Structure 1
């Protein structure tokens, strides 16, 4: 017993030394170091272990520790302009700019999560914790990347009781040493994240060390797949397309198929989470072969995939997996605000891909709460979601953030549950260019940002 205690003490000393021995030589270092050293506030445990049928989806925090209120947005809200009229960055963020999220926004977000959502069963977080590497005067370093991930984990641990509410992250395209670039695993980033995410008590097996993906079981009837979209992304120059057998994308596809097959045999429902959606306003986000094979997997296993969740675009958007006639050939239909869905009403929708708004205030920040069935026969089926948002312009004006409900899916779209058949009826109503539903979709597409 004494030897075990000694080992634990030695481990704590080493971990503490590692933080102190790697200071980041910038003007924000001491402030952030002190934040990391603060003790988390206490979470009151709930003895009720039954599932509530609720979970959260949050994405794209993009915390920038260098953000300065009332600075110049053209200088990424980090420096002042000589002309005072240009210094107009907001306390809680600056809409429609290249600035990232200030501490004030991040703090208020996690405070809202702490106060409002202690009864959720789990949280899906679809990545991009770090600021963008846009500022030529202050580039990212590996130390900063590690520090950023550690700080977000600290926020999470202070907000949720991990033994009660599982927090399931994915890897974003701004979470690497270099923006959009991640070489085949095992690599130093995935190795570091394995240690940094250790407090979250996730199922990070050798699959994560090699590929950056993992399966987290909520219970025996529901699993969440945290995928690594960086190994599909056509912006990642470090990898090859999925027609190369040993490419990390091809290997991940095999893992997905294996896990989906097991889920089908065990009659488990599956939620899929990843950062980058396969299709957006710019077209295919994945290498083409990866894209085609991934979409076919979604279609073939749509009977057990109950939900698909992404971020990255800062938009509230829908994409449908459709089946072509009687042939098992699946395609994606993305509802883009610039292209009215003048499509045939007999589209056979088999699955819906949900892309949620971000915390970073490119548009107004958003948080989404999903509801799912906990009944025996329909367990895991999505029944509704509530979209929360904050009006950043208003917050900057009045000096505080007010999170409120933007809309409720079932009421807004007139559907009883978020099933493919329900969304097919919505899509049919949107065909008319003057339809109310299409106008509503356009409003929420950019999170009610004027």
Structure 2
């Protein structure tokens, strides 16, 4: 997987916009060409930046979907992403396989590449979905979330992070009780190093 950074200027606001395939796919899927969606997102950021006088690098991180149960040498069957098999191919799958969520090697490589492209990011917008799809138990999901947060802070220890809750940040997927609850408290605890008092 090749990660790229694209330089863009919006009244001096965004000097570098780091995007990976997931972000591009999300923006393009919002409309036929993707341009209106991109312009809308950048316009919102520009209004916020102009009103605060912000200037700097902004990093968008989306849909990391780290799977702590991923097995690199798994065989292509319905449960192949998380089942050990005795064989290895020329591509052992240590950086992932089509149809599987991201193994730790891929998450680390992704964040290292983003860090190399924007080492002094002024702001990180973290759009949720840190853990893998359909993890079968809550402790494993929180383990995945904690690992991603730790890696983000490893690369950007002092950068301000804006976080949103994705559907896979809830357990089970797409479910979050209304009002104060232990799941929100657990998210706040996991994200504590990202949240600015």
Alignment TM-score, normalising by the size of structure 1: 0.29
Relative to structure 1, the CA distance from residue 161 to residue 126 in structure 2 (aligned partners, 3 Å threshold; closer, same or farther) is same
Please identify which structure carries the higher strand content.
1
| Matching of residue 193 in structure 1 with residue 177 in structure 2 | no
- Give, in whole Å, the separation in 2 of the partners of 1:102 and 1:160: 21
Relative to structure 1, the CA distance from residue 141 to residue 124 in structure 2 (aligned partners, 3 Å threshold; closer, same or farther) is same
Relative to structure 1, the CA distance from residue 202 to residue 76 in structure 2 (aligned partners, 3 Å threshold; closer, same or farther) is farther
Partner of 2:94: 91
The alignment of Structure 1 onto Structure 2 pairs a total of residues equal to 144
Query: RMSD over aligned Cα, in angstroms?
Result: 2.6
Q: Are the aligned partners of 1:54 and 1:120 in contact in 2 as well (CA < 8 Å)?
A: yes
- Give, in whole Å, the separation in 1 of the partners of 2:168 and 2:92: 22
Provide structure 1 residue ranges, at least 5 long, that are not aligned to the other structure.
1-49, 134-138, 204-450
Per-residue Cα deviation, 1:1-50 (whole angstroms, up to 9, x for no partner): xxxxxxxxxxxxxxxxxxxxxxxxxxxxxxxxxxxxxxxxxxxxxxxxx9
Q: How far apart are 1:86 and its partner, in Å?
A: 8.9
Q: Are the aligned partners of 2:67 and 2:144 in contact in 1 as well (CA < 8 Å)?
A: no
Partner of 1:127: 128
**3-state SS of the aligned residue for 2:162?**
strand
Partner of 2:139: 143
Per-residue Cα deviation, 1:285-337 (whole angstroms, up to 9, x for no partner): xxxxxxxxxxxxxxxxxxxxxxxxxxxxxxxxxxxxxxxxxxxxxxxxxxxxx
Partner of 2:20: none
Equivalent residue for 1:161, pick from 157, 175, 181: 157
After the TM superposition, which segments of 4 or more aligned residues of structure 1 sit over 3 Å from their partners? 50-53, 84-89
Relative to structure 1, the CA distance from residue 87 to residue 140 in structure 2 (aligned partners, 3 Å threshold; closer, same or farther) is farther
Q: Are the aligned partners of 1:92 and 1:101 in contact in 2 as well (CA < 8 Å)?
A: yes
Partner of 1:103: 104
- Give, in whole Å, the separation in 2 of the partners of 1:176 and 1:128: 9
Q: How far apart are 1:172 and its partner, in Å?
A: 0.9
- Give, in whole Å, the separation in 2 of the partners of 1:171 and 1:122: 17
Partner of 2:82: 78
Q: Are the aligned partners of 1:72 and 1:86 in contact in 2 as well (CA < 8 Å)?
A: no
More contact order relative to length (CA 8 Å, sep ≥ 6): 2
**3-state SS of the aligned residue for 2:60?**
strand
Larger Rg belongs to? 1
- Give, in whole Å, the separation in 2 of the partners of 1:145 and 1:91: 20
Provide structure 2 residue ranges, at least 5 long, that are not aligned to the other structure.
1-52
- Give, in whole Å, the separation in 2 of the partners of 1:88 and 1:80: 15
Q: How far apart are 1:117 and its partner, in Å?
A: 1.0
Alignment TM-score, normalising by the size of structure 2: 0.63
